[in-house]
Amino acid sequence: MIGFEKYQIPLDVVWLDIEHTNGKRYFTWDTGKFPNPERMQNDLAFYGRKMVTITDPHIKKDDGYQIYADAKARGYFVKSKDGLDYEGSCWPGRNSPSSSSSSSHFEIP
């Protein structure tokens, strides 16, 4: 971000797409690309800038991914007409859309 200041390049917001995540799992960071995301956000804030990270209404199907496992256990996913968790396909691969119900809240690690 120092280069933006040095060369007086206007910048208000940094937008991060899915590639900032660990294995396309929302609410995670790829620590190889972003070794210190908290410091990066603090650096942006120092200059009055904001950061936006992508989130979509689906969660990567991965039993080793805590967010997926918790949402599945709590029944937060949209159901098929047969009452099973609906599965779709998108850039993270197989995924399940989450319910928009106000009861479908869980803690992000």
Torsional sign, CA 108, 37, 100, 79: negative
* pLDDT tens per residue, range 22-52: 999 999 999 999 999 999 999 999 989 999 9
The whole-angstrom separation of Cα 24 and Cα 1 is 24
What residue has token string 């496992």?
Answer: 69
pLDDT at 57: 82
The answer on pLDDT for 102 being more than 50 is no
What pTM was computed for the model? 0.76
Nearest to 56 by CA among 13, 21, 26: 26
* pLDDT tens per residue, range 38-87: 999 999 999 899 999 988 888 899 999 999 999 999 998 999 899 999 98
